[in-house]
Structure 1
Amino acid sequence: MLEDKNLDKIINEMVDTVENSKDEIYSISESAREEYQNLSEQLKYLKQEVTDNIESSEQLEVKEKLSRQRLAEVSNNFNKFTEEQIKEVYEQTHKLQSELKMLHQREKILRQKRDDIERRLKSLEKTIEKASSLVSKVSVVLNYLNEDFRQIGELIQDANEKQAFGLKIIEAQEEERRRLSREIHDGPAQMLANILLRSELIDKTFKQRGREEALIEMKSVRSMVRSSLYEVRRIIYDLRPMALDDLGLVPTIKKYVENMAEYNQMNITFTPLSLWDRLDAKYEVALFRLIQEAVQNAIKHAEASKIDVKLEKSSNTILVIIKDDGKGFDVKQRKENSFGLIGMKERLEMLNGSIDIHSKVGQGTRIEIQVPLLE
C-alpha cells in the first residue's frame, strides 16, 4: 500500500508539472498571438503610409522638376529677371528639393520599419506554430499520464492484490486441510472407532445376554453408521456437491439455498428464470461457487435477513443476480482483504465474464454477474 501511495504521489507531481508547463506554453502562445495581431495592425498602417509617401513624393518630384526648369530658365536669362524673382525661384526650388529629400528619407525609414515588422511577424508565426504543436504534444503526454499511468498504477495494485490473493489461497488451502483433518478426526473417525467398539460389544452381548439384547445393540450401531455416512457425505458436499455432477446446476443451487436457509434460520430464495439444460462442467462449477461465495458474503458480512438469488440463461449469456437487504457498503471505497470479491473476479476472468456490484450504506447490495456462453 505504501508503494501504491508513493507511485500515486509521483504521478500527481508529474501531472502537476506537465499541467503547469502546458499553461505556461499556452500563455506564451496567447502573448505571441496578441503581439502578432498588434504588429499586423501596425504593418497595415505602415503600408498605407508608404503608399501615401510614394504618392506625395511623385507629386513633389513633378513640382521639383518644374521648379528646376524654371531655375535653369532664370539662370540662362539672368538679366531679364529681378534679384527678387531670382531669389524666389531659387528658394522655391531649394525648398522643394529639401521636402523631396525628407520624403525619400521618410520612405526609407518606413520601408525599414515595414520589413522589420514583416520579419517579426514571420518569427511570431513560427513561435505560435511551435507553441500550438507543443500544447498538443503536452496534452497527449498529460492524457497519457492521467489515463495510462493511472492504469499502470491500477495494474500494479491489481498485481499486488493478486499476489496477496495467491498467498491467501495457500493459507486457505492449509486451513481447509486442517479443517478437514479435524472434521474427519472428530466426526467419521471417532464414529468408526465407536462402531468398532460397539461391534465387539455386540458379540459379548449375544454370548452373555442373548439375542434380544444383541439386536438392540445392532440397532444402535446401525444408527451410528448412518450418522457417520451423513457426516462423510456432508464433508464431500462441502468439497464438491455430487448433485452438481448428477443433477446439474439448478437443483444443486436449490438444495444449497434450502440448506443455508435452514441452517442460518433466515429467508433465502432461489428463482430460475428460464428453462435449463445441462451446461459444460466448467460453467456449472464456476457459477455454483460464485453464488456460494456471494450468499456466504451476504450472511457473514452484510447481516442480511433476506437474500434473493435469480438465475437466467439466454441463447449466449448467463445472468446471475444476488440481492440482499443487509447493511450495504460504499463500492467506491476499496476494502482491505476483500479476497472473496477478488476470488469471484478471478473466476469470472477465466470465463470472460463480468461482475457489477451496486450497493449503498444502509440500502443493501445487488450483485449482477454475466457470463458469456462460448462454443
Structure 2
Amino acid sequence: MVNRDRELDYIIDEMIDTVKKSKDEVFLISEDTRKEQEKLHKELLKLREDVIVVIGENEGLERRAAEARKHLSKVSKNFNKYSEEEIRKAYDEAHKVQTELTIKRDKEKLLRERRDEIELRLRSLDQLVERADGLAGKISVVLNYLNEDFRHVSDILQDAQEKQEFGLKIIEAQEEERRRLSREMHDGPAQALANILIRSEIIERIYQKGDVDHALKEMRDIRKLIRDSLYEVRKIIYDLRPMALDDLGLIPTIKKYISTLGAQHNNIRFIYKGSPERLDSKYEVALFRLIQESIQNAIKHANATEILVKIELLKDRVTAVVVDDGNGFDPKERRDKSFGLMGMHERVEILEGKLKVSSSKEAGTKVVIVIPIL
C-alpha cells in the first residue's frame, strides 16, 4: 500500500510538472503572437497611409495623363502648325506621364495586396491568441485541481480500489469544468471580442466615408459590448476563485456570492454571529467552497424554495449550517454515488472537522459543518 501511495504521488508530481511546462509553452506562444500582432499593426497603419498617398498621386497623374493625351491629339491633328521639336516634346511628355502612372498603379496594387494580407494575418493571430488564452485558463484549472485536491488522494483514501474510483471522478470533474469554461469563454467573451473586431472595422470604413455621427454611434455600441465582455470575464474569474475572499474575507464574500445568485434563487437568508476577525486562508477557502457546494446542491438538485445559511465564529471553532426545504434524499443511498458530498467530506476531514448531513425525501436537507480553529 505504501509503495502504491508513493507511485501515485510520483505520478501526480510528474503530471503537475508536465502541465506547468505546457502552460509556460502556451504563454510563450501567446506572447510571441502578441509581439507579431504589434509589429503587423504598425506596418498596417503605415501601409494605409501609403495607400492614401499613392491614390492621391495617381489621381494627379491621371489628370496630367489626360491633359498630355489631349495635347498630343491636338498636335497630331495640326502637325503642320507645330515644329518637329514641339511634336517630339508632346509625344515624350505623354509617354513619360503614362509610364509614371503605370508604375504608380502597380505600386498601389502591391500596397493594397500587402495590406489585405496583413489584415488577414491579424485576424488569424487574433484567433490564435484567443485559443491560447483559453487554453492557458483551462490548464490553470487543471493545475488548481492537481495542487489543491489531487495531492491529498493517497492520504485520504484507504485502498487502491477507492483511490482509482476517486481519481476517475476527479478527472471527470476536471473535464466537466474544462467543458464548462470552454463553453462560457466561447459563448461569452470570445464571441463578443470577435463581434467587437468586426464592428471596429465597420467604424473605420464609416469614418473614412465621413459619416462621423454614425461612427460615434457604433463606438458607443462597442463600449457596451466591451463592458458586457468585461462582466463575463470577471464572472468566470470569480467562479474560479473569488478575489473578494483574499481582499475582504469569508463573510463579505459569502454575502456577495448570495447576492449574485438572485437570478437563480431570490430567497436565501444569511445569518452571522461572532467576531469580525479574519480566519486563516485555508479555513476561509474551505468554508466558502463547502457553503457554495451546499447552496448549489439545494438550488440545482433539491428544488428548494427557501435556503437558510448560518455561520457562527467562536474562538476555537467555526460552525456553518445550510438548511433548505427541498426534495431531500436518503444520505445512505446517495453517499457512495455523490461526488459532491464525497468532496465535502474530504475537505472537512483535511481540516480535522466534522460534517453531518441530515435529510429525508420530501423533508429538506440540513448540512452542519464544524471546523476547529487550531
Please give the range of the TM-score, normalised by the shorter of the 2 chains. 0.5 to 0.7
The AA in structure 2 aligned to 1:345 is H
- 8 Å Cα contact 2:357/2:365 also seen in 1: yes
Partner of 1:294: 294
Offset of 1:221 from its aligned partner? Answer: 0.6
Aligned residue number for residue 200 of structure 2: 199
2:278 is equivalent to residue 278 of structure 1: yes
Matched residues in 2 for 1:250 and 1:350: separation? Answer: 22
Partners of 1:248 and 1:230 in 2: how far apart? 22
Contact 2:307–2:322, Cα closer than 8 Å, also in 1: yes
Deviations 1:333-367 (A, max 9, x none): 45442111100011111111111122233321111
What letter is aligned with 2:305?
S
Residue number in structure 1 paired with 2:217: 216
Change (3 A) 1:162 1:300: farther
Query: Where does residue 189 of structure 2 map in the other structure?
Result: 188
1:189 and 1:363 mapped to 2: Cα distance?
43
Is residue 176 from structure 1 mapped to residue 163 from structure 2 by the alignment?
Answer: no
State how far apart, in whole Å, the 2-side matches of 1:205 and 1:275 are.
Answer: 60
Separation (CA, whole Å) in 1 of partners of 2:160 and 2:301: 25
Distance of 1:249 and 1:295 partners within structure 2: 15
- Deviation sequence 1:88-130 (CA, Å, 0-9, x none): xxxxxxxxxxxxxxxxxxxxxxxxxxxxxxxxxxxxxxxxxxx
Distance 1:159 1:256 in 2: 38
Displacement after TM superposition at 1:329 (Å) = 2.4
Deviations 1:37-72 (A, max 9, x none): xxxxxxxxxxxxxxxxxxxxxxxxxxxxxxxxxxxx
1:230 corresponding residue in structure 2: 231
Kindly report the root-mean-square deviation, in angstroms, between the aligned alpha carbons of the 2 structures: 2.0
CA pair 327-182 structure 1, distance change in 2 beyond 3 A:
closer
Q: Which residue of 1 aligns with 2:348?
A: 348
Amino acid at match of 1:373: I
The residue type equivalent to 1:189 in the other structure is A
Using a 3 Å threshold, how does the CA distance of structure 1 residues 162 and 341 change in structure 2: closer, same or farther?
A: farther
Distance 1:362 1:190 in 2: 42
- 1:259 correspondence with 2:260: yes
* Matched residue type, 1:353: G
SS in 1 for 2:315: coil
After TM superposition, the structure 1 stretch with the greater mean CA deviation from structure 2, 196-205 or 217-226, is 196-205
TM-superposed CA distance for 1:331, in Å, is 3.3
Which stretch of structure 1 is more off in the superposition, 189-198 or 156-165? 156-165
Q: Matches of 1:160 and 1:293 in 2, distance apart?
A: 26
Q: For residues 158 and 368 of structure 1, what CA distance do their matches in structure 2 show?
A: 28
Q: CA deviation at 1:165?
A: 2.6
Written as runs of structure 1 = structure 2, the 5 A alignment for 1:328-347 is: 328-347=328-347
Q: Please tell me the residue identity of whatever aligns with 1:307.
A: I
Aligned residues: 219
How far apart in 2 are the matches of 1:156 and 1:281? 25
TM-score (norm 2): 0.55
User: How far apart, in 1, do the equivalents of 2:230 and 2:371 lie?
Assistant: 36
CA separation of 1:306 and 1:184: change in aligned 2, threshold 3 A: same
Q: 1:369 is paired with a residue of what secondary structure? A: strand
Residues 289 and 278 (structure 1), Cα distance of their counterparts in 2 relative to 1, 3 Å cut: same
Following TM superposition, by how much is the alpha carbon of 1:231 offset from its aligned partner in structure 2, in angstroms?
Answer: 0.8
Deviation at 1:292? 0.6
- 2:113 — aligned with what? none
Q: Which residue of 2 aligns with 1:13?
A: none
d(CA) in 1 for partners of 2:278, 2:167 = 31
The alignment partner of 2:275 has SS state of coil
Runs of at least 5 residues in structure 1 that lack an aligned partner in the other structure:
1-154
Distance change in 2, residues 1:307/1:158 (3 Å) = farther
Q: Secondary structure at the match of 2:274?
A: coil
Normalising by structure 1, report the TM-score: 0.55
Could you tell me whether the CA contact under 8 Å between 2:265 and 2:299 is conserved in 1?
Answer: no
- Equivalent AA in structure 2 for residue 246 of structure 1: D
1:233 is displaced (CA, Å) by 0.5
1:119-144 deviation digits (Å, cap 9, x = unpaired): xxxxxxxxxxxxxxxxxxxxxxxxxx
Q: 2:157, 2:163 within 8 Å by CA — same for their partners in 1? A: no
Tell me the equivalent position of 2:325.
325
Secondary structure class of the residue paired with 1:235: helix
Q: Over residues 8-64 of structure 1, what are the superposed CA-to-partner deviations in whole Å (9 max), with x where a residue is unaligned? A: xxxxxxxxxxxxxxxxxxxxxxxxxxxxxxxxxxxxxxxxxxxxxxxxxxxxxxxxx
Say which one has the larger Rg.
1
The verdict on how the C-alpha distance between 1:173 and 1:282 changes in structure 2, with shifts beyond 3 A counting, is same
| Residue in 1 that maps onto 2:269 | 269
Give 1:163 deviation, angstroms: 3.6
- Please show how residues 122-201 of structure 1 align to structure 2 within 5 Å: 160-161=161-162, 163-201=164-202
Query: What is the rounded CA distance, in whole Å, between the counterparts of 1:329 and 1:160 in structure 2?
Result: 26
Distance 1:320-1:159 versus aligned 2 partners, 3 A rule: farther
Alpha-carbon distance in structure 2 between the residues aligned to 1:161 and 1:291: 26
Aligned-residue identity in percent:
58
